[in-house]
Amino acid sequence: MSLCGNCRLLLLEVETTPWHAILLLKLFISWLLFWPCSSCLAVVLQNICHIVKAPASVSWEIKKLAMDVAYKAVNSLEGAGIFAVELFLTEDGQILLNEVAPRPHNSGHHTIESCKTSQFEQHLRAVLGLSLGDPSMMTPAAIMCNILGEDEGEPGFYLAHQLMQRALSISGAFVHWYNKPEMRRQRKMGHITIVGRSMSVVENLLASMLDEASEKPAVVHRVGIIMGSDSDFPVMRDAAKVLDTFGVPYEIKIVSAHRTPDWMFSYASSAQERGIEVIIAGAGGAAHLPGMVASLTPLPVIGVPVRASALDGLDSLLSIVQMPRGVPVATVAINNATNAGLLAVRMLGVADADLLSRMSQFQEDTKKNVLSKAEKLEKDGWDLQ
């Protein structure tokens, strides 16, 4: 900033992470409404916003701090409509106010596809005094990628259209071309929004779109099946069989709570970031694996007590089911990894209509199978052979 008098210049440099953007809706009556998906992360390329991710993968504490700063900034201004607040997050967890834009903003373009009411429609409703729409997200994750000019003139147009062509082959991708007559380097020529069931899935699709050499995106596993030893595999493979039946991608690994504690910590703490949505953990004996994993991840954990040589599996069952308050583990019967797989499918089905439909069909098929056996018993008597 400039200091009057001697006209000296003071430059303050601060280490920051990618900037955050928050969308707020303000009415003439000074009422403020936060966008539910408002906290988003932006990746900047040569001082130009390139990628926006919503919602931001930061702690609730950071989100709350950012919203407080944004609220104070916008509340001091007049007018009505959408206000976009740009913020910087420092390495030590502080929030710095960068800019307030009193208009629909580039960081909110993803709302066209990701929210029930876009920032553009909501802005007009507020200015015209109409009833406001529902701004909640329709998808768990969204990424907006600006189409930036990579070259001047025709070569730049060619590269942009190549990018859009790759985007059109991706399920969940939406292309917006601004039809600007001139192409310049780093100029925003349009944007592409990708939506999906998790940020890992969307990030994977984005990577395949940006990589010209990529043939197809890698599979993102939805369920993690882990066990303390390879001796648990004959039991745990039943969970894998169920997931195969329902077409749910999964990973299966050996993760020992006692022999490889560092690996267990790394696996559990990174599971959500890698796209895992449910963890099935099998263990015998002391059976600490499910509980320890549940303490390290916000994801639901299903515990499978494995029958060991001692106590016929009761030790495993009691160890897994007797978790302290605040660390829940959904525990199935001893050696019943089949039910663990089915429970995982039901958990995923809450936000997946196709899986829920398949589960309903599975239940119907099970009922028909039982009724068929009952009919055969009544018809043929006790000799069913």
SS (H, E, C) 68-114: HHHHHHHHCCCCCEEEEEEEEEECCCCEEEEEEECCCCHHHCCHHHH
For helices 289-296 and 261-270, angle between their N-to-C axes, nearest 10 degrees: 50
In this model, does residue 316 exceed pLDDT 50? yes
Domain segments of the chain as ranges: 14-210, 223-354
How many Cβ atoms are within 10 Å of 353's Cβ, its own excluded?
Answer: 9
How many Cβ atoms are within 10 Å of 37's Cβ, its own excluded?
Answer: 23
Query: Yes or no: is domain 14-210 CATH 3.30.470.20?
Result: yes
Q: Do domains 14-210 and 223-354 have the same CATH topology?
A: no
Q: What is the pLDDT of residue 117?
A: 92
In this model, does residue 174 exceed pLDDT 60? yes
How many Cβ atoms are within 10 Å of 383's Cβ, its own excluded?
Answer: 6
3-state helix, strand, coil in the chain (%, to 5): 40, 25, 35
Q: How confident is the model at residue 20 (pLDDT cuts 50, 70, 90)?
A: low
47 or 274, higher pLDDT:
274
Q: How confident is the model at residue 384 (pLDDT cuts 50, 70, 90)?
A: low
For helices 353-380 and 233-246, angle between their N-to-C axes, nearest 10 degrees: 110
61 or 157, higher pLDDT:
157
Question: Which positions ≥6 away from 248 have C-beta within 8 Å?
Answer: 222, 223, 344, 345, 348, 355
Which of 149-153, 264-268, 335-339 has the least mean pLDDT? Answer: 149-153
Q: How confident is the model at residue 87 (pLDDT cuts 50, 70, 90)?
A: confident
Mean of pLDDT values over 169-185: 94
Q: What is the pLDDT of residue 1?
A: 40
Mean of pLDDT values over 32-61: 71
User: What's this model's pTM, rounded to 2 decimal places?
Assistant: 0.73
In this model, does residue 385 exceed pLDDT 60? no
Q: What is the pLDDT of residue 46?
A: 64
Q: What is the pLDDT of residue 132?
A: 87
Mean of pLDDT values over 14-34: 62
Query: Yes or no: is domain 223-354 CATH 3.30.428.10?
Result: no
- For the stretch 191-222, pLDDT in tens is 999 999 888 889 989 998 998 655 555 678 99
Which of 157-166, 188-197, 303-312 has the least mean pLDDT? Answer: 303-312
Mean of pLDDT values over 323-333: 97
Q: Distance (Å, rounded) from C-alpha 47 to C-alpha 186? A: 9
The residue type of 133 is G
